[in-house]
């Protein structure tokens, strides 16, 4: 099993997005096959850097799976300069992780979160799993001046592991407005040999 690659590209973000969209469409692959670092809150640029990037383009990070990374880098090297894009480097990513925090008062939303976390993709695992569910029927009524929820679900967990699996679960969770996702963290290097650990046991908050 090969590692995902982080490809650093110089140029305007809009052009890069269009380029990658064309690349994936040509291979009839879904748009989620390659991830943009800025969508994962990966790039922590200062305001000055962001302004400079806006005016002159900037550095962007693409995360590509092992089966696509060489072809994508080659395509950027070959066709990129025509539209102002230049591959500035590449390195392997062994692991990625992010933290999830949520406090929700809707049972169906809590169920959705649990459902997503129960189906962790291969290669990803859950750590520091803390959850707490509270049901208090005496607070059922919706009130004006003394509002207290009759249901509350809190969860904190870290999703860690192979980049593909971590990104897949992050996409699912990102659709849930009540879930707070931390920036994605990457660990450089080749894949560790024992990447598939069991998820941590749930713990009360």
Partner 1 sequence: MQQAGSVADLGTLLPVWSALPFVGMLLSIAVLPMLAPRVWHHRYPAITAAWGLLFALPFAARFGDVALHELLQVALVDYVPFLVLIATLFTIGGGIHIRGSVRGTPATNAAIMGIGSALASLVGTTGAAMVTIRPLLRANRFRRHRAHTVVFFTFLVANVGGGLTPLGDPPLFLGFLHGVPFFWTLRLWKHVLVCAAVVLVVYVLCDLWQWRREDGVARQRHAAEEEPLRIEGAINLLLLLAVVAAVGGSGLWHGKALRVLGVYETTGNALRDLVLLAILVLSWKLTPDSVRAANAFSWAPIKEVGILFAGVFVTMIPAVVMLRAGEQGALACVVRTVDSPAHFFWASGLLSSFLDNAPTYLTFLSTAVGRLFPGAPESQGIARLILEHPEFLVAISTGSVFMGANTYIGNAPNFMVKTIAEEAGVPMPSFFGYILRYSVPVLVPTFAAMTWIFY
Interface with partner 1 (CB under 8 A): 103-106, 108-109, 139-149, 151, 174-178
Q: Smallest distance, Å, CB 138 to partner 1? A: 9
Tokens, residue 119:
């189906």
The torsion region of residue 23 among left (phi > 0), alpha (psi -120 to 50) and beta comes to alpha
Q: How far is the CB of 40 from partner 1 (least distance, A)?
A: 14
| Beta bridge mates, 203 | 130
Secondary structure, 3-state, 117-174: HHCCCCCEEEEEEEEEEEECHHHCCCCCCCCCCCEEEEEEEEEEECHHHHHHHHHHHH
Instruction: Specify the residue, 36 or 123, whose C-beta has the smaller distance to partner 1.
Output: 36
Shorter beta-carbon distance to partner 1: residue 82 or 177: 177
* Nearest Cα residue to 163 out of 19, 41, 38, 1: 1
Chain-centre distance of CA 52, in angstroms?
25
Q: Which is nearer to partner 1, 3 or 112 (CB)?
A: 112
Residue 116 C-beta: closest distance to partner 1, Å = 14
Q: Which is nearer to partner 1, 82 or 143 (CB)?
A: 143
Min dist. Cβ of residue 134 to partner 1 (A):
11
């Amino acid at each position: 099993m090969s590692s995902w690659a982080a490809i650093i590209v110089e140029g305007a973000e809009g052009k890069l997005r269009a380029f990658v969209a064309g690349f994936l469409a040509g291979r009839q692959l879904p748009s989620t096959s390659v991830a943009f670092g800025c969508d994962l809150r990966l790039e922590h640029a200062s305001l000055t850097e962001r302004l400079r990037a806006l005016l002159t383009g900037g550095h962007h990070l693409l995360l590509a799976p092992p089966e696509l990374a060489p072809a994508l880098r080659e395509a950027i090297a070959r066709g990129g300069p025509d539209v102002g894009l230049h591959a500035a480097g590449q390195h392997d990513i062994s692991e990625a992780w992010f933290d999830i925090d949520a406090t929700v008062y809707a049972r169906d939303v809590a169920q959705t979160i649990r459902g997503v976390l129960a189906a962790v993709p291969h290669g990803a695992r859950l750590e520091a799993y803390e959850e707490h569910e509270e049901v208090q029927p005496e607070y059922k009524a919706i009130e004006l001046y003394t509002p207290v929820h009759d249901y509350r679900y809190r969860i904190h967990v870290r999703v860690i592991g192979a980049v593909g699996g971590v990104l897949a679960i992050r996409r699912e969770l990102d659709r849930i407005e009540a879930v707070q996702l931390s920036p994605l963290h990457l660990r450089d290097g080749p894949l560790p040999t024992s990447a598939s650990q069991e998820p941590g046991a749930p713990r009360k908050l």
